[in-house]
A and B are shown apart, each in its own frame.
Chain A
Amino acid sequence: MEPELSSLGLERAAARVVGEYLDVLGSHLPVGRRARIGIRAEIADGLACAIEGRMVRGEPARSAAVAAVADLGDPRELALAFAGQLGPVTAHRLGVALVGSGPLVGLIWVAARSDGGSDWPARVGTVLAAVPLYPPILAVTVPAAVVAIAGAGWFARRRPLPRRLVTAAAVVAAIGCVAGDLSLLTAAVVSQPVGRPAPALVVLAAAASVVRLSAVSWAGRRIVRLRAAGC
């Protein structure tokens, strides 16, 4: 018996029914390992409470467990219901991460452009001139990230947005971020003279972009999975 089930203190017959339910639920939850463990533990506790209540009223362990899982409903539908709640939160976190990391990564790229002199507005202009795709990418990505942020937290309490809109905005923001970072990296590679080592700040900026686009790709794929599950 899994530790999660043994800690419930249920009779073996009831634990088997609960275990089967949790396995189906877990396999249909399009979420990360940590969230899956949390949801499983919470549902396991609820089922154990329901089973104990029924057994106190005289039901045998197995029939109490069967009734408890029936009351909870189809595990696949429950998984979908949880996925529906998780989509906007994941989108919100991605939006916050993008809006938070954007200025930092951008600042490193601007600092890395030594050909703009000490005048920072001129440096910004140099970066944007070197990557002409970047302004239109920003024009799409930033508003999309803001909509994704509005999917949960303070904004959602005041004006809830449709889940599909929020998750779609997050996907757009993720694609925009990846496209933006790739265009910055491409411009850096193209402008780098052959045979000369890249300046430390360019290496740092490139590393920041690679880390960010990897993390955003991973989060974006998760949101796509949540959307595929109906969120």
Chain B
Amino acid sequence: MRAEALKGHLDGLLLAILEAGPTHGYAVIEALRASSAGTLDLPTGTVYPALHRLEDVGLITGTWSSGPGRQRRVYRLTAAGRRALTGHRATWLEFATAVNSVMNGGPAWSPS
């Protein structure tokens, strides 16, 4: 799926991946791919700047992992991030219900 198709939803997806626990950038990309059975196979370069943006607004925090071997930046959800994820889920549910209704030729949709 092209990155443009996810415009507006990427933040929610990244927060949802991080809800499972702290993880690093490449693992986020892999989890996104695995959770969607390969449908959400985004260009890797889309995800790293998005993670930095989420960190800048305080929805996630990033820390460098200590220990031997290469440096690794690990991201975790903040309390504000959890609240934002709840909002993203509600928005998505409303959007998906409306689109499904239209796509399936159902009755006119009205907001709940």
Chains A and B come from one and the same complex:
yes
In chain B between 85 and 106, which residues have their CB closer than 8 angstroms to a CB of chain A?
A: none
Residues of A in contact (CB 8 Å), total: 36
Which of A43, A48, A72, A85 is close to B56, meaning CB atoms less than 8 Å apart?
Answer: A85
B44 touches A50 (CB 8 A): yes
Residues on the B chain within 8 Å of A89, using CB:
56
Which of A53, A68, A82 is close to B52, meaning CB atoms less than 8 Å apart?
Answer: A82
Q: How far is the CA of A214 from the CA of B72 in the complex (A)?
A: 34
Give per-residue flags for A137-159: 1 if the beta carbon is below 8 A from chain B beta carbons, else 0. 00000000000000011101100
Most buried by B among A7, A81, A85: A85
B70 lies within 8 A of chain A by Cβ: yes
Residues of B in contact (CB 8 Å), total: 26
A121 lies within 8 A of chain B by Cβ: no
- Tell me how far the C-beta of B77 lies from the nearest C-beta in chain A, rounded to whole angstroms: 13
Q: Is the interface of B mostly helix, strand, loop or mixed?
A: helix
Residues on the A chain within 8 Å of B38, using CB:
none
Q: Is the interface of A mostly helix, strand, loop or mixed?
A: helix
B25 touches A45 (CB 8 A): yes
A45-B26, A49-B26, A157-B57 given; A73·B69 CB < 8 A: no
Instruction: Give B contacts to A, CB under 8 Å.
Output: 24-27, 29-30, 43-46, 48-49, 52-53, 56-59, 64, 69-73, 80, 84
Instruction: Give A contacts to B, CB under 8 Å.
Output: 7-9, 38-39, 41-46, 48-50, 53, 68, 71-74, 77-78, 81-82, 84-86, 88-89, 92, 152-154, 156-157, 160
